[in-house]
Amino acid sequence: MRLLPRNRWLRRSLYLFLLVLLGSAGLYGYRHLVYRESAKYEDRILAELNQIDPDWAWEKMIAQSPNLPDDKNGYLHLEALQKKYSSIDATLIPDLPQDKVKLPGRPKLDVLNFPQLQDPKFKKELDEFLSELRKQVEYPQGWIPITWGQDAMTGTKTPPPLTQQAYFLIWDARRQALLNNPDLAIEDLRALLAVAQASRTPGMLIYVIVSWGQENNTVATLEQILAWSTPSASTLKKLQEDLERTLQKNPLVNGFRFERASSYQMMLRIGNQLSNGVRPPGAVSRNEIKRFFLNIRYPMYAPADRAHLLEDITKVIEQLKNNSPELKTTLAELEKEKEEAKARQNQEEENDAFSNVRPSTWMSALLKPSLTGMLKSDFNWKSTIRCGIGALAAERYRQSKNRWPENWEELVPEYLQEVPEDPWSDKPLRMRKTEEGLTIYSVGANGVDDGGLPEVLKTKLDLGFRLFNPQKRSATP
């Protein structure tokens, strides 16, 4: 009994059909096996995450967003001031050139003046505006009203953080110091910290970056004020307490929690879209063809990619929450991966964007550079704030004892709760006496003590705060 057709071409067609059928079955089996293992990995990570952080999912985080009363919301207070004093524009403020701020040298007051100050009506309105801004310290919390969507990128509407007030507060703090009103300058800086808090809305890393910038500017401006004047110890103590409260809030934890939930939600949506079909390449080019085949392969690896994302960010979040010394090791690993990826990219052909892309880490790998950058910024922010706290305690000690402290132990517990730790070295911040006064500094990202010299601080190899002897200050009451 003949099972195969007599016609040779029909037989060959049948062989080809069977070969395609077997290949398709093998490919389907392979895809199913890979997807099953990928899904097992995701299920394991999800189970662990639900144990660590039961409310990690996007919908739960949105539902638990803070709901501040309008009369206690610092952001709404700033927004109302901006509308009320709309004629006062931060573009009026002149820049203070760096060559005019060579500490402890004192710039001329004219550098900070602008023509509108000659108008009595404008000057009165500006003074009222600044007086209202100083009341921001009565609003220790702020919440930017965000309209949430499917994730942080889709449907979410984020109002811009209000930064104009910060420029005016920095300008006025400098100006008051030069006018020999140092306590009023410190009040401006306390208000500046409160403005930063109003922008620190959990959920968006951009708001964390904005608030960090304003808090770093607070410390930088404080260094100038203490170089030009001598505020009272009681006013300095209030600012020190504000900085200590700022340091306790650890905003990056909430920022990364929202980033994790939002990114997972977005990756789910992209994976589902690719599972429903892939468009053919739009043009005949190497990149387009590689993208096309990557899109075809990605759905079976998508659960593993999502699991990598959750695992990487959760590891960082838990280390941040526990202030773990392993955080620096994690940062070093991320830096190494970043450098290796950069080296591979340099070896690839120009404009070849999809070489060496692993489907199982395609999208999660794209987020690692932002993880690295935010962690480094967090270390630098902590270093700067702790240097500011240490400098305030040392200045208060000098005013009381008529000399600089010899070490941190002389400041604890009367002037400091504890010895400030350098996040880059896990050792106390450096304290070095100089001919001009006292320098408090962190070793910075390179982990090397470069001496905290002015030229070193300028290049950011070390991060620090310079305090000057009273006779070096140009405006000591």
Q: What is the pLDDT of residue 67?
A: 76
The whole-angstrom separation of Cα 302 and Cα 296 is 11
Q: What is the pLDDT of residue 458?
A: 73
Q: Which two tokens stand for residue 319?
A: 């280390």
- Phi, psi angles (nearest 5°) of residue 142: -145, 150
Band of pLDDT at residue 1, cut at 50, 70 and 90: very low
Assess whether pLDDT exceeds 50 at residue 475: no
Q: Which of 152-166, 335-349, 414-428 has the highest mean pLDDT?
A: 414-428
The whole-angstrom separation of Cα 289 and Cα 266 is 24
Assess whether pLDDT exceeds 70 at residue 282: no
pLDDT digits (tens, 9 = 90+) for 61-90: 888 777 788 889 999 999 999 999 988 888
Q: What is the pLDDT of residue 333?
A: 87
Assess whether pLDDT exceeds 90 at residue 46: yes
The answer to whether 432 and 402 are in contact (CB under 8 A) is no
The whole-angstrom separation of Cα 270 and Cα 268 is 6
pLDDT digits (tens, 9 = 90+) for 223-273: 999 999 999 999 999 999 999 999 988 889 988 998 899 899 988 888 887
The whole-angstrom separation of Cα 365 and Cα 303 is 14
Q: Give the residue with greater pLDDT, 23 vs 78.
A: 78
Band of pLDDT at residue 98, cut at 50, 70 and 90: low
pLDDT digits (tens, 9 = 90+) for 329-376: 898 888 888 777 676 666 555 445 445 567 778 788 888 888 899 999
Between 161-165, 183-187, 191-195, 469-473, the lowest mean confidence (pLDDT) is in 161-165
C-beta contacts of 25-33 below 8 A and 24+ residues apart: 31/300
Summarize the confidence of residues 395-417 as an average pLDDT.
96
What percent of the chain stands above pLDDT 70?
85
Q: What is the pLDDT of residue 417?
A: 94
The whole-angstrom separation of Cα 303 and Cα 317 is 21
Q: What is the pLDDT of residue 348?
A: 53
pLDDT digits (tens, 9 = 90+) for 439-461: 999 999 888 888 887 766 777 77
Assess whether pLDDT exceeds 70 at residue 285: no
Q: Give the residue with greater pLDDT, 140 vs 277.
A: 140
Residue 174: burial class (beta carbons within 10 Å; 0-12, 13-18, 19+): buried
The answer to whether 419 and 408 are in contact (CB under 8 A) is yes
Task: Work out the angle at residue 149's Cα, subtended by the Cα atoms of residues 143 and 153, and round it to the nearest 5 degrees.
Answer: 95
Q: What is the pLDDT of residue 97?
A: 64
The answer to whether 421 and 414 are in contact (CB under 8 A) is no
pLDDT digits (tens, 9 = 90+) for 6-18: 667 776 776 677 7
Find the length of the chain: 477
Q: What is the pLDDT of residue 462?
A: 84
* ω into 104 cis (within 30 of 0): yes
Q: Which two tokens stand for residue 407?
A: 């070490």
Assess whether pLDDT exceeds 60 at residue 171: yes
Mean per-residue pLDDT of the chain: 85
The whole-angstrom separation of Cα 413 and Cα 432 is 20
Band of pLDDT at residue 398, cut at 50, 70 and 90: very high
* ω into 159 cis (within 30 of 0): no
pLDDT digits (tens, 9 = 90+) for 137-157: 999 888 888 887 777 777 777
Q: What is the pLDDT of residue 206?
A: 85
